[in-house]
């Protein structure tokens, strides 16, 4: 059996009872470590906290392992129970859907244990979940690559009066350009996009457009470390949020659409007063 188990968003205690029971049955336990991270994922003892609670050693599965050695993980699940731990919910990233498809094609039984993810926890800011449009991902700009394909999605959401959840880039164990040229593996330091950088890039995209889908005065909500004890939520214009230090990752941003009076009441609790 291959168990794909959601860990939730906060710390090691956010796993469900069903998920914990499944982990304790497993011979091998892998933890996906590139599409997201738990609130303690940057600390030196984060994994040991998991291992202490679960009573199992944990193998960190980076992008390289999952993309290049998934068959090895799946082969083990032919003979033993194997757990693949995912921050948030198992289907918060397409990579995990691909793993399920591959397992099923190999005749491996798969069991999913769901948990909270950013896609539903975002409701804490007060903007109602059924009033969101398509979610977008915002990648880091580089000197030679400044993608803006997500702009049209934001524009469509705004035209329909819908809110837009923006997931911000995470770059973990990314090979350096030099290492790719030389064929020798070396990696960039981990980087996590901030709300400030996301807004800077979003405003750059609309500079030369005749009819902008948003401006620096557009109402937004910035959220940091969602689901953790020290989560931070601030509502304000893009211009206001750019001036705020949201602290450690992970960050995400909501561009508000048309708001209902009840949504406005909730946003007032988080409103930036500067």
Give tens-digit pLDDT for 214-236: 999 999 999 999 999 999 999 99
- Domain spanning 2-116: which superfamily? Tetrapyrrole methylase, N-terminal domain (3.40.1010.10)
Q: Any idea which fold 119-269 has?
A: 3.30.950
Question: Per the annotation, does 251 bind a ligand?
Answer: yes
Predicted local confidence at residue 224, as pLDDT = 96
Give me the mean pLDDT over the 65-87 stretch.
87
Question: Per the annotation, does 117 bind a ligand?
Answer: yes
Confidence tier at 12 by pLDDT (50, 70, 90): confident
Confidence tier at 64 by pLDDT (50, 70, 90): confident
Question: Per the annotation, does 168 bind a ligand?
Answer: yes
Question: Per the annotation, does 89 bind a ligand?
Answer: yes
Question: Per the annotation, does 183 bind a ligand?
Answer: no
Q: How would you write the chain as a 3-class SS string?
A: CEEEEECECCCHHHCCHHHHHHHHHCCEEEEECCCCCCCCCCCCCHHHHHHHHHCCCCEEECHHHHHHHHHHHHHHHHHCCEEEEECECCCCCHHHHHHHHHHHHCCCCEEEECCCCHHHHHHHHCCCHHHECCCEEECCCCCCCCCCCCHHHHHHHHHCCCEEEEEECEECCCECHHHHHHCCCCECCCEECCHHHHHHHHHHHHCCCCCCCCCCCCEEEEEECCCCCCCEEEEEEHHHHCCCCCCCCCEEEEECCCCCHHHHHHHHHHECCC
Confidence tier at 97 by pLDDT (50, 70, 90): confident
Predicted local confidence at residue 274, as pLDDT = 63
| pLDDT tens-digit readout, 159-213 | 999 999 999 998 876 666 666 676 677 667 788 999 999 999 999 999 978 889 9
% of the chain exceeding 70 in pLDDT:
90
Question: Per the annotation, does 9 bind a ligand?
Answer: yes
pTM summary value? 0.89
Q: Which part of the chain has CATH 3.30.950.10? A: 119-269
């Amino acid at each position: 059996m291959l168990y794909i188990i959601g860990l939730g968003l906060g710390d090691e205690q956010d796993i469900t009872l069903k998920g914990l029971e499944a982990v304790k049955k497993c011979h091998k336990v892998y933890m996906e470590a590139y599409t997201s991270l738990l609130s303690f994922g940057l600390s030196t003892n984060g994994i040991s906290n998991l291992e202490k609670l679960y009573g199992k050693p944990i193998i960190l599965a980076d992008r390289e392992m999952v993309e290049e050695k998934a068959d090895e993980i799946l082969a083990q699940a032919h003979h033993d129970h194997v757990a693949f731990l995912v921050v948030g919910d198992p289907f918060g990233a397409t990579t995990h859907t691909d793993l399920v498809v591959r397992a099923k094609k190999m005749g491996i039984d798969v069991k999913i244990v769901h948990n909270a993810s950013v896609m539903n926890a975002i409701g804490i800011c007060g903007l109602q979940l059924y009033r969101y449009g398509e979610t977008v991902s915002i990648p880091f700009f580089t000197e030679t690559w400044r993608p803006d394909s997500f702009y049209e999605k934001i524009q469509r959401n705004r035209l329909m009066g819908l809110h837009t959840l923006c997931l911000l880039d995470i770059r973990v164990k990314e090979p350096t350009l030099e290492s790719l040229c030389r064929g020798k593996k070396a990696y960039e330091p981990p980087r996590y996009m901030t709300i400030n950088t996301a807004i800077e890039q979003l405003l750059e995209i609309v500079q030369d457009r005749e009819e902008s889908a948003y401006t620096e005065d557009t109402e937004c909500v910035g959220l940091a470390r969602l689901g953790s004890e020290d989560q931070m939520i601030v509502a304000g214009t893009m211009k206001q949020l750019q001036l705020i230090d949201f602290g450690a990752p992970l960050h995400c941003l909501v561009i508000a659409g048309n708001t209902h009076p009840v949504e406005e009441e909730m946003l007032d609790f988080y409103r930036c007063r500067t």
